[in-house]
């Protein structure tokens, strides 16, 4: 099935039967991905004292409670409500779900800081990747990119992060949706500054209800850098973050 998408005078043809799923399953039996000291997700059959609602226990249906943390368990999308006094629900933020996108791959640079060596995605690395027409969504894959990222426990590993100047620049050129394969755009321990989050949303000067950040995606090695169409879907959670399923579609000739 072929879809034709037109945006700002430009037309893309994409094959809907060739999706590139960037999400990581929320799997209770997997060690990860996890971050921020959270445990694995749990899916537990309801037990009302008379019956355990699992088919293998004789119930007519599987009827399970789900317990997880959107920020700490797997692929998720967040709104400015993540850093604002008001928890602006991400579930009602999007008015459409298809966006022009660009995928770039970056090897974070090592820098000396007061806290030791840090691995940073810099403005200089990103500036040269964007052409004349900025995408609506910017997708970052970091090197190295082992499949183990899909199950990594990121807590206390000091992962790479994006410098605030780079996030401010992405905002300035019109990027609305920032996606990356790390647990946060900010450093794991930064004394609560969250400078990259603040820069991308221009917070607190602005309460930007048009931009999102998606973290803990995974982009397979065989997916080439370049232009795509992004489909960004997430449940209608009344919360600052929700699990999400970003999907790329490569443009057809």
Q: Stretch 153-161: mean pLDDT, rounded?
A: 97
More confident residue, 115 or 201: 201
Residue 114, pLDDT score: 73
Confidence of residue 128 (pLDDT cuts 50, 70, 90): confident
Looking at the chain, the whole-number percentage of residues with pLDDT higher than 90 is: 91
Check pLDDT > 80 for residue 132: no
Mean of the per-residue pLDDT values of the chain:
96
- Reported as a single tens digit per residue, the pLDDT across 37-92 is 999 999 999 999 999 999 999 999 999 999 999 999 999 999 999 999 999 999 99
Check pLDDT > 80 for residue 131: no
Check pLDDT > 90 for residue 7: no
Q: Stretch 94-108: mean pLDDT, rounded?
A: 97
Domains in the chain and their CATH numbers?
A: 2-33+70-249 (3.50.30.50)
Kindly state the tokens that stand for 237: 């959670």
Check pLDDT > 80 for residue 33: yes
- Reported as a single tens digit per residue, the pLDDT across 166-185 is 999 999 999 999 999 999 99
Check pLDDT > 80 for residue 251: yes
């Amino acid at each position: 099935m072929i879809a034709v998408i037109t945006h700002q005078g430009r037309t893309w043809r994409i094959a809907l039967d060739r999706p590139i799923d960037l999400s990581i399953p929320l799997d209770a039996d997997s060690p990860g991905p996890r971050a921020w000291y959270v445990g694995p997700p749990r899916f537990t059959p309801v037990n009302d004292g008379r019956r355990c609602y699992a088919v293998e226990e004789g119930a007519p249906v599987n009827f399970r409670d789900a317990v997880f943390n959107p920020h700490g368990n797997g692929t998720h999308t967040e709104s400015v409500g993540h850093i604002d006094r008001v928890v602006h629900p991400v579930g009602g933020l999007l008015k459409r779900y298809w966006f022009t996108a660009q995928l770039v791959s970056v090897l974070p640079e090592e820098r000396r800081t007061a806290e030791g060596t840090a691995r940073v995605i810099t403005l200089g690395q990103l500036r040269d990747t964007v052409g004349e027409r900025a995408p609506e969504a910017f997708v970052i894959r970091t090197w190295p990119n082992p499949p183990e990222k899909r199950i990594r426990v990121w807590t206390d590993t000091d992962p790479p992060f994006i410098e605030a100047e780079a996030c401010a620049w992405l905002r300035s050129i019109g990027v609305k949706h920032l996606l990356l394969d790390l647990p946060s755009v900010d450093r794991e321990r930064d004394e609560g500054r969250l400078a990259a989050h603040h820069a991308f949303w221009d917070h607190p000067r602005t309460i930007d209800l048009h931009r999102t950040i998606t973290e803990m995606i995974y982009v397979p090695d065989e997916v080439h850098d370049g232009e795509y169409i992004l489909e960004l879907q997430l449940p209608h959670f009344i919360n600052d973050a929700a699990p999400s399923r970003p999907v790329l579609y490569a443009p057809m000739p």
